[in-house]
Amino acid sequence: MEGRIHSFQSMGAVDGPGLRFVVFMQGCALRCPYCHNPDTWDFAGGKSYSVEEIVKKIENYRSYLKKGGVTLSGGEPLYQGAFVLSLLKALKEKGFHTALDTSCQVLDSYTDDILDHTDLVLADVKVLSDRFLPYGWSLSRAEAFLEKTKEKGVSVWFRQVVAPGLNDTEEDVKALSAFARQYPNVKKIELLPFHKLCLEKYRSLNIPFPFETVDAMEKSRVDDLSRLLKNDE
Ligand code: SF4
């Protein structure tokens, strides 16, 4: 089985616990206005790899990944459900810790099996309203996906990009914290500052950057907001 892959990062330190091999999968149907990876959107982009080829690459780093593992990110991995399931199964057979970085928008015939082979979901909960509907992201779809993780007892970390005017007030962050309490399997909430390092990517792809005029988020402000969260870890 082959999947479309955007790129690999052999030793990522920010996409789950420990050092991780990160597989950035190609393709996303959403159009988040702050997306910093517009080059992953095109489903026909990237390059095809087989499960075996990817596992072989990862095996080269096994000794570094002992306290970490492998993270599937994107793009949105769940648009390639059959391939993701096959890759996760192969990784679990080899004893790797697996994490899935997802926008929680795809719930299909692969979801149950995928979650059965996932140790940690990095859930991108964008905003607790329907403000993201025009960009393709729905809170109710995310809730349905999170319910499924709860039912399966899969650990979840929330990861939210904080952007001015979108979700950057103390009330927004307290509401996110309260929302997380509905899911006992949510172990951690991470807030990530919106940045504009992707501006050149948009220009080179000739795609308008919807948040071009929105100010980047001060890290110190995000640190202050993060103190409002009650993290278990
Ligand atoms: S879900 Fe992720 S990859 Fe897709 S548009 Fe949003 S931020 Fe970009």
- Indicate which atom in ligand 1 lies nearest the CA of residue 30: 5
**What is the pLDDT, as a whole number, of residue 16?**
96
Residue 232 lies in a domain: no
Closest-CA residue, ligand 1 atom 8, reads: 35
Give the CATH number for residue 177: 3.20.20.70
- What total of structural domains would you count in the chain? 1
| Burial (0-12, 13-18, 19+ Cβ within 10 Å), 133 | exposed
Handedness of CA 101, 102, 108, 112 (dihedral sign): positive
Closest-CA residue, ligand 1 atom 6, reads: 32
Residue 233 lies in a domain: no
User: Taking CB atoms and a 6 Å cutoff, what residues make up the pocket around ligand 1?
Assistant: 28, 30-32, 35, 37, 40, 74-76, 103
**What is the pLDDT, as a whole number, of residue 59?**
98
**How many angstroms separate the alpha carbon of residue 63 from the centre of ligand 1?**
31
**How many angstroms separate the alpha carbon of residue 75 from the centre of ligand 1?**
6
In sequence order, which residues have a C-beta less than 8 Å from that of residue 61 and are 6 or more positions away? 10, 11, 21
Tell me how far apart the alpha carbons of residues 4 and 25 are, in angstroms, rounded to a whole number.
6
- Indicate which atom in ligand 1 lies nearest the CA of residue 28: 4
Closest-CA residue, ligand 1 atom 2, reads: 75
Nearest CA to 88 out of 62, 67, 111, 68 is that of: 111
One-letter-per-residue 3-state SS of the chain: CEEEEEEEEEEECCCCCCCEEEEEECCCCCCCCCCCCHHHCCCCCCEEEEHHHHHHHHHCCHHHCCCCEEEEECCCHHHHHHHHHHHHHHHHHCCCCEEEEECCCCCCCCHHHHHHCCCEEEECCCCCCHHHHHHCCCHHHHHHHHHHHHHHCCEEEEEEEECCCCCCCHHHHHHHHHHHCCCCCEEEEEEEECCCCCHHHHHHHCCCCCCCCCCCCCHHHHHHHHCCCCCCC
Residue 73 lies in a domain: yes
For ligand 1, mutation pick of 4, 40, 80 (most atoms within 8 Å of CB): 40
Residue 112 lies in a domain: yes
Residue 37 lies in a domain: yes
Domain that holds residue 13: 2-226
**How many angstroms separate the alpha carbon of residue 197 from the centre of ligand 1?**
15
- Mean pLDDT per 10-residue segment, the chain (233 residues): 97 95 98 95 98 98 96 98 98 98 98 98 95 93 98 97 94 95 96 94 95 94 91 48
For ligand 1, mutation pick of 4, 15, 32, 137 (most atoms within 8 Å of CB): 32
**How many angstroms separate the alpha carbon of residue 143 from the centre of ligand 1?**
17
**What is the pLDDT, as a whole number, of residue 126?**
96
Residue 101 lies in a domain: yes
Residue 22 lies in a domain: yes
Residue 231 lies in a domain: no
**How many angstroms separate the alpha carbon of residue 160 from the centre of ligand 1?**
12
**What is the pLDDT, as a whole number, of residue 62?**
96
